[in-house]
Structure 1
Amino acid sequence: MDFPQTLRATRQRRHLSQLDLALRAGTTQRHLSFMESGRSRPGRTMVVRLGESMELPLRERNELLLSAGYAPVYPQTSLDDPSLEHVRAALGRILAGHLPYPAIVVDARHDLVLANDAFGLLTEGVAEHLLRPPVNVLRLSLHPEGMAPRIVNLAQWAQHILDRIPHDDLYDELSGYVPHVAPGPDHVGFAVPVRLRSTLGELRLTTTITTFATALDVTVAELKLEAFLPADTATAALLAG
């Protein structure tokens, strides 16, 4: 799509009116209407401001700039690059700080980037081919040779996962691994604990997700740290022991 189409579609996807976005971006509704109709070509600064005002992920802000004919503003650096040593060090400290609870870092594709030593509790009995890089943690969770046979509430946990991802090829693959269960009256996706059989006993784990809110690099902005925390005192005691 060209810039006018991209801007209009993105604004509508973010559930913003022209007036809402114009006020956020410090411009007028008339000017925004002209940009969406192609009657006005915005400068690079305005495109950056529009991306910021719609609170787009950095990757999408770059795509908006490209659609307007400008080079991307936000770099995408390999996590192995020396310039991101401080990021790797910070992640390492956070992962260690979550012990004895499992914690992982994944990228935008949900591929495993880093994990702490308690990650092994989640991967007990998992088929070797699912642990070969790149390890997709969603596939690891729901594959019949992954964690799925050990998840007591598999249907509910699977729905929790599928609710979080776009309807793409991975969604189609994952949804084929588990029976469809319509959400019941008690369904609250974000609060679903996973009940996992392990050598320690049954673990009830809830998850939290942390991101780099002020990152200016696409790679860093797309990293997510997911910690598996005890959902009851019995699980806390098992993990502490």
Structure 2
Amino acid sequence: METMTTVTEPGPFARELRRWRGARRLSQLDLAIRADTTQRYVSYLEQGRSQPGRTVVLRLAESLGLSLRERNALLLTAGYAPAYQESGWDAPELAPMRSALRSVLDGHMPYPALIVDSRGLLVEANAAFTLFLDGTPPELRREPVNVRRLMLHPDGVARRVINLAEWGRHVTEALRIRAQASPDPELDALIAELDGYLPPTEPGPDYVGFAVPLRLRTEQGELRLITTLMSIATATDVSLAELRLEAFLPADAASAEILRARAQSVPRVTDSHPV
């Protein structure tokens, strides 16, 4: 008499755990060491032979370097409620953080500074951000404004960028790195769109990567700007964790003087972005 063996298909959590481990190029042993567990246990989880507790799921998610949104999604596949709240930028409970970030934006004057979400949508900006709006068509400034598209679209800021081929790839490479870490079909589509706007470039013998200053034509002369980035590393709210504060700094004295002069004619904005 033959004995029938029932094979259990791995559930959603097991499949997602295996997918993320593969995306991070980790062996089961690598992940086990990071998560302070055993390779055998990780193997059982990926086969669906063990059901993890909520704490284990969170420990694995952290070991995999998942974003808060991705950690919530992994918890759901294991049958647990999300651990991190997603309040939305305008939520009352984020009022203190909104006020603090707006103070940072305003304090960066006379230099441009803005806050964007994970896909480059504009959340807030200071008055100096109008530097990038000069001469751009209404359709690129219509909310929600995608700052990456505004910058690289042929009808947008790109018309005034002297080193578009190099600086544009600095923008797209940063997005590509983010997309590799946190796969997102919409972000992939945006990257493909932006790549299509950029002229070809051949790195020369002095090439050291695409982390180059932005060279921008203005009526007052050429601006050379360096970008600095800040994220809220200890955020426990999904909306906050996905925000990036991008601040531009003058790369030379002439650029600083042009920006200071512009600030005298641009009203200060602290409650909303000037789009």
Smaller-chain TM-score bracket: over 0.9
Structure 1 CA distance for aligned equivalents of residues 220 and 97 of structure 2: 33
- The answer as to 2:219 corresponding to 1:205 is no
Larger radius of gyration: 2
1:29-48 alignment runs, 5 A limit: 29-48=39-58
Q: Using a 3 Å threshold, how does the CA distance of structure 1 residues 184 and 219 change in structure 2: closer, same or farther? A: farther
Secondary structure in 2 matching 1:208: strand
* Counterpart residue identity of residue 224, structure 1: R
1:232 Cα deviation after fit: 1.9
Question: Equivalent residue for 1:196?
Answer: 216
Alpha-carbon RMSD: 1.6
1:184 to 1:60, Cα distance in 2 relative to 1, 3 A: farther
Task: Return the alpha-carbon distance in structure 2 between the equivalents of residues 117 and 102 of structure 1.
Answer: 7
Shift of 1:170: 1.0
Mark the runs of 5 or more structure 1 residues left unpaired by the alignment: none
Equivalence for 1:68 = 78
Q: 1:200 deviation in Å?
A: 2.4
C-alpha distance in structure 1 between counterparts of 2:259 and 2:245, whole Å: 19
SS of the residue corresponding to residue 174 of structure 2 reads coil
Which has the higher mean CA deviation after the structures are superposed, 53-62 or 136-145?
53-62
- Which of the residues 12, 19, 29 maps onto 2:29? 19
The amino acid of 1:173's aligned partner reads E
Alpha-carbon contact 2:164-2:199 (below 8 Å) kept: no
Per the alignment, residue 128 of structure 1 pairs with 138
Amino acid at match of 2:209: V
Which residue type is aligned with residue 242 of structure 2? E
Alignment-derived partner of residue 87 in structure 2: 77
Q: Which residue pairs with 2:15 in the alignment?
A: 5
Distance 1:116 1:91 in 2: 11
Q: Which residue of 2 aligns with 1:95?
A: 105
TM normalised by structure 2 equals 0.83
Residue of structure 1 in register with 2:189 after alignment: 169
Runs of 5+ unmatched residues, structure 2? 1-10, 180-186, 262-275
* Cα distance between partner residues in 1 of 2:235 and 2:63: 16
Q: How high is the TM-score relative to the length of structure 1?
A: 0.94
Q: Which amino acid aligns with 2:48?
A: G
Q: Which residue of 2 aligns with 1:58?
A: 68
Deviation at 1:12, TM superposition (A): 2.6
Q: How far off is 1:64 after superposition? A: 1.1
